[in-house]
């Protein structure tokens, strides 16, 4: 079955640390990939997306993600996190241009000031 897996449920970092959140999907065909972020008390918003082309995509607020097809991965990175990055992050995939986006279970990121 098609699925999206996020490796970490809860991550705690200090400010200025580097961040990498893992995401893997299970599907052998064409896939569009997304990272969403949900700040406390706010709605889900799109952080970045990959459709095709350059596998390194840049999003808002200094985030980037790399699509590695051979590893079925789409990891989210940020070189230096800030306290305001405290949020829940969701990896998601649209497989074979389907209508339904499949979400991972989310990673809660807590940044210590």
Partner 1 sequence: DVKVTQSSRYLVKRTGEKVFLECVQDMDHENMFWYRQDPGLGLRLIYFSYDVKMKEKGDIPEGYSVSREKKERFSLILESASTNQTSMYLCGEGLRGQPQHFGDGTRLSIL
Q: Report the interface residues with partner 1, using CB under 8 A.
A: 9, 32, 34, 42-46, 49, 90, 92, 94, 97, 99-101, 103-106
Q: Which residues contact 41 (CB under 8 A, 6 or more apart)?
A: none
Task: Give the integer Cα–Cα distance in Å for 74 and 57.
Answer: 10
Closer CB to partner 1, residue 1 or residue 113? 1
Least distance between partner 1 and beta carbon 112 (Å): 21
Task: Give the integer Cα–Cα distance in Å for 81 and 37.
Answer: 14
Least distance between partner 1 and beta carbon 15 (Å): 25
Closer CB to partner 1, residue 10 or residue 18? 10
Q: What is the DSSP letter of 41?
A: T
């Amino acid at each position: 079955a098609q699925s999206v897996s996020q490796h970490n449920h809860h991550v705690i970092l200090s400010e200025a640390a580097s961040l990498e959140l893992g995401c893997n999907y299970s599907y052998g065909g064409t896939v569009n990939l997304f990272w969403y972020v949900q700040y406390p008390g706010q709605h889900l918003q799109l952080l970045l997306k990959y459709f095709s082309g350059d596998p390194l995509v840049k999003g808002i607020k200094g985030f980037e993600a790399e699509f590695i097809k051979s590893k079925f991965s789409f990891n989210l990175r940020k070189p230096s996190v800030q306290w305001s990055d405290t949020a829940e992050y969701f990896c998601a995939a649209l497989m074979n241009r389907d209508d339904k986006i499949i979400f991972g279970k989310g990673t809660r990121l807590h940044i210590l000031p």
